[in-house]
Structure 1
Amino acid sequence: MSVKQNEVPADEQPRNLLDAAIIKLGNWLSLLFIFTVFISFYEVVMRYIFNSPTIWVHETASFIGGSLFVIGGLYAFASNKHVRVVLIYDIVSKRTRRYLNLVHHIFGITFSSLMAYGAYTLAESAWFSPVGELRLNTSGSAWNPPFPALLKAVIFISFCILTIQFLLHLISEIKALLEHSNV
């Protein structure tokens, strides 16, 4: 069976609206990698040709790359391209795979919700002073952007979304098992 160039394999199709939105947003956000390449090229030209380095490129590129790396986890799960131990998974029946998916999703919900809680505590301390005033942590460099606080917020939001993704996938697996047991 051949796959057309623009055709997505069935096992990589989004399973719900959240997955579809993540894939669509991820495709658009991936263009930021091109922006990162351009600003990095700009930095090289300014530094080595004009002897006038920038103070903003490295931190901006690091923030964009870090954010996209975190969001990439959501994208991989939404498109079913996440890491999986296939030694056992590929040799069992479809029904057994569904049970393995149930276990995977239960552990995933537990892990991602605990990580979301941990990310929340880090984001809260990066966004608010001990007395509760809004105060974004900054990098401490000459430019001093609030990228550390923003990245912690991206991580927190991403783990919240991942928890929801796992929950939706778990519900989908349970429904599929119930439908097949009623047949």
Structure 2
Amino acid sequence: MTEDPELVARADEADAGIRTGLDRVVAGSSRIFSWAIFAAFAIAVIEIFARYVFNKPTFWAHETTTFLIAAIFLVGGPIALARDRHIRVRVIYDAVSPQRRRWLDILNSSIALVFFAGLAYAGWIMSSKAVFTPTGEIRLEGTGTAWNPPTPALLKMLVLFCVALMFVQTLLHLINAIRRKVPDTDGER
């Protein structure tokens, strides 16, 4: 079986921003998570047929698809960071020398670390309230519906995991930016 050269070129281009081994693992996981989109679509189609063709609506389809799409959205943050595809204003970045870009990377990573640390703290509080009762028992927060799955607790724990992962990714990016050797250019000190 031969590979399509255009698809290989697109995959190589998508992975061009990968800077660390952790980024490689996170970016590689996107293929697995992309199947969750297909699962959400399949569940929605099943629900449509059950409701409108057989007049037997499900009680689980809406909550399941909402959970899957929310989880995919959350995991998108670490994946975008791993591939260096996050939103960035490039006007200044592209106009400066490689040495100044290195300093901008260091500044950006330092600010992002503070931001992710604050989000991780908030995520810890939010997820611990969703997992533990005031007496310390483990009881996952449910949706409060007839089915009552623990998806709110799972999503809050996923928020904490994704933010902690982005903190570690950013820390590794900061270390790489500090270690990066950039040749001196004339006129810049």
TM-score (norm 2): 0.89
* C-alpha contact 1:46 1:53 (8 A) present in aligned 2: yes
1:122-133 → structure 2 map (5 Å cutoff): 122-133=126-137
**Residue 89 of structure 2: aligned partner:** 85
**Residue 172 of structure 2: aligned partner:** 168
Distance 1:35 1:162, change over 3 A: same
**Residue 182 of structure 2: aligned partner:** 180
- Kindly indicate whether residue 38 of structure 2 is the aligned counterpart of residue 34 of structure 1: yes
4+ residue runs over 3 A deviation: none
Computed over aligned residues only, the root mean square deviation of the Cα atoms, in angstroms, reads 1.8
**Aligned-partner Cα distance in 2 for 1:118–1:20:** 27
**Aligned-partner Cα distance in 2 for 1:11–1:5:** 12
Task: Map Cα deviations across residues 122-160 of structure 1 (whole Å, 9 max, x no partner).
Answer: 000000000100010000011100000000000001111
| Count of residue correspondences | 179
**Aligned-partner Cα distance in 2 for 1:9–1:168:** 22
**Residue 7 of structure 2: aligned partner:** 5
* C-alpha contact 1:12 1:81 (8 A) present in aligned 2: no
TM-score (norm 1): 0.92
Distance 1:91 1:33, change over 3 A: same
- Kindly indicate whether residue 77 of structure 2 is the aligned counterpart of residue 50 of structure 1: no
Structure 2: segments with no counterpart, 5+ residues: 185-189
* C-alpha contact 2:98 2:182 (8 A) present in aligned 1: no
**Aligned-partner Cα distance in 2 for 1:95–1:70:** 33
- Kindly indicate whether residue 121 of structure 2 is the aligned counterpart of residue 117 of structure 1: yes
| Secondary structure in structure 1 of the residue aligned to 2:168 | helix
State which of 18, 24, 28 in structure 1 corresponds to 2:28: 24
**Aligned-partner Cα distance in 2 for 1:84–1:13:** 13
Task: Map Cα deviations across residues 75-114 of structure 1 (whole Å, 9 max, x no partner).
Answer: 0010010000112112222221111111110011000111
**Aligned-partner Cα distance in 2 for 1:109–1:166:** 6
Distance 1:11 1:173, change over 3 A: farther
Residue 80 of structure 2 aligns to which amino acid in structure 1? A
- Structure 1 residue 24 displacement after superposition: 0.9
**Residue 77 of structure 2: aligned partner:** 73
- Kindly indicate whether residue 154 of structure 2 is the aligned counterpart of residue 154 of structure 1: no
* C-alpha contact 1:126 1:148 (8 A) present in aligned 2: yes
